[in-house]
Amino acid sequence: MTQVACYRNPEFNMWWYNEVSDWWLFLLVPIFAASLGIWFRADWRSRDMVVMVFVGCAGYAVSFFLDTVSTCFPS
């Protein structure tokens, strides 16, 4: 009978325990806004889609930067 032993470094943090970088969210917000526009049957070549993505990105950017400087609501 063969015994197999696995060694795991206890200091190793699993990747799913780490928080996602904020830069990934700046990438995912326009993708989400565009996919939401497509879900609501907006033509992806229209001006409406550009406005929807812009408003979504602007809203996220304002929320993100207010969250970093605001001391009223601790995270």
- Give residue limits of the domains in the chain: 22-69
Collect all residues with Cβ–Cβ distance below 8 Å to 22 and sequence separation of at least 6: 64
Give the per-residue pLDDT at 5: 75
Q: Check pLDDT > 90 for residue 32.
A: yes
CA-to-CA dists, residue 61 to 2, 6, 18, 31, angstroms: 56, 44, 22, 14
Q: Is pLDDT above 80 for 1?
A: no
Cβ(49)–Cβ(43) below 8 Å: yes
Decide if pLDDT at 3 tops 80.
no
Residues 33, 53: Cα–Cα separation, whole Å? 5
Amino acid at 14: M
pLDDT in tens, 37-75: 899 888 878 898 999 999 999 999 998 888 888 766 655
